[in-house]
Structures are given as C-alpha cells and as structure tokens.
C-alpha cells in the first residue's frame, strides 16, 4: 500500500513556467499570449493588489464589512480567470471577489456585498456567476450541478469554482467532485492551497502529500501548479477548459499559493500561527514581482505604466465607494419583499408593520 501511495504522489510534481527570477523554465508550456495579453494580465494583477490594499484600509475605517484579503493570490485568481470566456460560470469562495469583478461585477456592487447589502448580490444581466459562498465548500456541489446544467443545454462553457485548502476537508468537496466525475460535467475545481485554513496548517488537515491527488478517487484529472506563477496557472486552466468543453469532463487544479494578510479582517491574527520567516520566504515568490521581471525582460513593462495603473485603480475605487455610499440603504421591507414571489400571511403582516415604522 505504501508503494502504491508513493507512486501516486510522485505523479504530482509542481507545474511551473516562470521561476522566481521571471525566467522561463518550461518552454513547452509557455502559453500563446500576445504582448497586449501579457500586459493586460499584469494590469489586472496590479489593479487587484491596489484594490486589496484599499479594501483593507476601508474595512479598518468602518466603510466596508466582511473582507478577506487577496494579496499573494493574484496569479492563482487572475491567471485562472484570464483563461476563461464570458459564458463560463463562476462559483467563487469569499476570497474570490476579484474574479467576479473581472467577470463583469461592478466594483460598487462588490463593496455593497461586503456591507451585506442585497444589491451586492443582484448581478447585472450577462454576468454569469453566483455570489461568493460563505459556507466552506458548499460551492463545490453547486458547481457540479451548474456544470451538468451547461452540459444538458449543450453550452460550450464551463463552471469554475474556487475553494481553499480547508475546503477539501469538507464532505461537499468529495461529493461535488465525485458527482461531476460520474456525469463528465464540464467543471474546473480550483483548490487554492494558501497553506492555512484560517489558522490550521494543511498538514493537520490531511496526510496526503498533495491535495491534487484527491481527484484520483473520483477519476478526475488533476494538476499541481505553482500558484505564484501566473503563466503556469493560465496554461493549466486553458488546458482544463478545453478538456471540459470537448466533452472530457472535469479537472481538479491545486495551486500552491500564499495569502500575505489575515484570513479575514474579522479579528484573525496570522502572527499567532505563522512565522515571519515563512512569510518572508513566500514573499520572495511574489507573483507580481516575478511577472514584472519577465515583462521587463521582454521590454514590455515600465515603472510609468505601473504607476498609471495604480492611480487609475485608486480613482476607480474612490468613485465606487462613493457610489456604494450613495446607493439607497436597505430596509427590512426590502429583504422581505425580495425573498418571496408571493408573501405568506405572516410575512404580509410583518411587511405592513415595518412599512409603518419606516414611514415615520
């Protein structure tokens, strides 16, 4: 049994295109991206890093509610999303708001979602996705169902879902993966292994050497990818998407990454369970620094371009938070009204009571 397990684990060597110095280490897997595509990918990562910094500041000012920092995971999040199409359906976890924004969710609505306002969950027409899932792992089973629905409708699209390493400890993870495998559903399951499920290190969640190998039991092709390498994540996602739309079923992708900040801004203190040396080592692998070196080596990037993106992001965020501030406050009657097509008698009574209170 030990020999079999070691043979399985040996299949999951980490896939990488760019090393920490921005040098190509796997020429066969360099994605076919134009210079403009490469620059756009970098723009999105820079923009998202600024968005994270400003969102943390806004949270501390009391202007945002729930917020899960994203710095360090830009390559995993945006490299994967860049390989998708508009018709693909996103089922994110609560740290994956950036993918929704780049999929078309207006920034002000992302801020309203953080505040718990119902309009933050009312996606515009054509934005294919569900609200970020707060229940750990629940989006995995949902993704299997959405993917099967896409297949039954004959859509050339995929359902893409994200969870963290902690999500693989939930029963929903195995159930969703198995269901998608059985029905050859066009889904991509992302496990963003940022080493800690809140404060629990991954080695205390599983005895497996990788999380990717968990796809074997479900008969699902699986890959272990350097989640700090945006080109590797893009290439793996592109391959998984082609497999799915060609009728070859789901793929599981584990991205090895790291969140620099706390699990959420709701009182988590990462210094209690992570060492400074660990964070310093991961910062040497920073996805933005790595990709910047690569682009500079191709004469595709400059400090002036980067500074403009930073200023543009700050300006967009300033306008979006004002738009969120100016949006009508939600009332209890709003929540009652949008929950049912036809209100039951008890809620009709409550609706009248609250209407009277709100009118005063």
pLDDT digit string (tens) for 69-101?
999 999 999 999 999 999 999 999 999 999 999
Among 67-76, 110-119, 140-149, 349-358, the minimum mean pLDDT is found in 349-358
Same domain, 165 and 258: yes
Catalytic residues: 259, 263, 273
Same domain, 136 and 183: yes
Asked whether the beta carbons of 253 and 188 are under 8 A apart, the reply is yes
Please tell me the total count of domains within the chain.
Answer: 2
Over residues 125-164, the pLDDT tens digits come to 999 999 999 999 999 999 999 999 999 999 999 999 999 9
Over residues 205-240, the pLDDT tens digits come to 999 999 999 999 999 999 999 999 999 999 999 999
Enclosing domain of residue 19: 2-329
pLDDT of 1 reads 43
* pLDDT at residue 338 greater than cutoff 90: no
- Mean pLDDT (whole number) for 327-344: 90
pLDDT of 166 reads 95
pLDDT of 243 reads 97
- Strand ranges inside the chain, DSSP E: 89-91, 159-164, 187-193, 196-197, 200-201, 222-226, 251-256
Query: How does 22-45 read in b/e, with b if 16+ C-beta sit within 10 Å?
Result: beeeeeebebebeeeebbebbbbb
* pLDDT at residue 8 greater than cutoff 70: no
Among 6-15, 157-166, 211-220, 244-253, the minimum mean pLDDT is found in 6-15
Same domain, 277 and 324: yes
- Both tokens of 251, joined, read 């793929």
pLDDT of 5 reads 46
Asked whether the beta carbons of 252 and 221 are under 8 A apart, the reply is yes
For residue 27, give the 3-state DSSP assignment: helix
For residue 112, give the 3-state DSSP assignment: helix
What is the percent of the chain with per-residue pLDDT over 90, rounded to a whole number? 88
- What are the residues facing 187 on neighbouring strands? 159
CATH code for the domain of 40: 3.40.50.970
Same domain, 229 and 285: yes
pLDDT of 216 reads 93
Q: How many CA atoms lie within 13 A of 224 on its CB side?
A: 17
Same domain, 307 and 338: no
CA distances from 279 to 40, 44, 202 (A): 28, 23, 16
Same domain, 311 and 354: no
Asked whether the beta carbons of 109 and 120 are under 8 A apart, the reply is yes
* pLDDT at residue 11 greater than cutoff 90: no
Q: How many CA atoms lie within 13 A of 302 on its CB side?
A: 4
What is the percent of the chain with per-residue pLDDT over 70, rounded to a whole number? 97
pLDDT of 9 reads 60
- Mean pLDDT (whole number) for 93-119: 97
Same domain, 342 and 272: no
- Both tokens of 321, joined, read 């938070």
Give the residue, 340 or 195, on which the prediction is more confident.
Answer: 195
pLDDT of 359 reads 80
Same domain, 98 and 151: yes
* pLDDT at residue 10 greater than cutoff 90: no
Q: With both helix axes pointing from N to C terminus, report the angle between 303-326 and 107-115 in degrees, rounded to the nearest 10.
A: 50
Same domain, 304 and 352: no
Q: How many CA atoms lie within 13 A of 323 on its CB side?
A: 15
Same domain, 336 and 252: no
Same domain, 163 and 236: yes
Same domain, 255 and 158: yes
């Amino acid at each position: 049994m030990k020999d079999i397990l070691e043979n399985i684990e040996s299949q999951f060597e980490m896939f990488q295109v760019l090393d920490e110095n921005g040098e190509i280490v796997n020429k066969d897997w360099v994605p076919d991206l134009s210079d403009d595509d490469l620059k756009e990918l970098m723009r999105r990562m820079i923009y998202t890093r600024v968005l994270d910094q400003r969102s943390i500041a806004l949270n501390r000012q009391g202007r945002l509610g729930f917020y899960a920092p994203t710095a360090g995971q830009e390559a995993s999040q945006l490299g994967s999303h860049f390989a998708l199409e508009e018709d693909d359906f996103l089922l994110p976890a609560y740290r994956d708001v950036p993918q929704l924004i780049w999929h078309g969710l207006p920034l002000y609505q992302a801020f309203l979602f953080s505040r718990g306002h119902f309009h933050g969950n009312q996606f515009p027409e054509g934005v294919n996705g569900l609200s970020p899932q707060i229940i750990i792992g629940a989006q995995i089973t949902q993704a299997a169902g959405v993917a099967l629905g896409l297949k039954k409708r004959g859509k050339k699209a995929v359902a893409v879902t994200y969870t963290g390493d902690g999500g693989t400890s939930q029963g929903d993870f195995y159930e969703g993966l198995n269901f998608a495998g059985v029905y050859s559903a066009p889904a991509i399951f992302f496990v963003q292994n940022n080493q800690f499920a809140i404060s629990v290190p991954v080695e205390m969640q599983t005895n497996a050497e990788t999380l990717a190998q968990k796809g074997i039991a479900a008969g699902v092709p699986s890959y272990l990818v350097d989640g700090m390498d945006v080109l590797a994540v893009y290439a793996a996602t592109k391959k998984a998407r082609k497999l799915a739309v060609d009728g070859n079923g789901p793929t599981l992708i584990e991205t090895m990454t790291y969140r620099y900040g706390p699990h959420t801004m709701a009182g988590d203190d990462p210094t209690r369970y992570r060492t400074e040396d660990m964070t310093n080592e991961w910062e040497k692998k920073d996805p933005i620094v790595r990709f910047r070196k690569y682009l500079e080596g191709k004469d595709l990037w400059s400090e002036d371009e980067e500074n403009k993106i930073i200023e543009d992001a700050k300006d967009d965020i300033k306008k979006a938070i004002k738009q969120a501030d100016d949006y009508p406050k939600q009332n209890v009657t709003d929540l009652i009204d949008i929950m049912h097509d036809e209100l039951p008698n008890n809620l009709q009574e409550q609706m009248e009571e609250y209407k009277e209170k709100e009118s005063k």
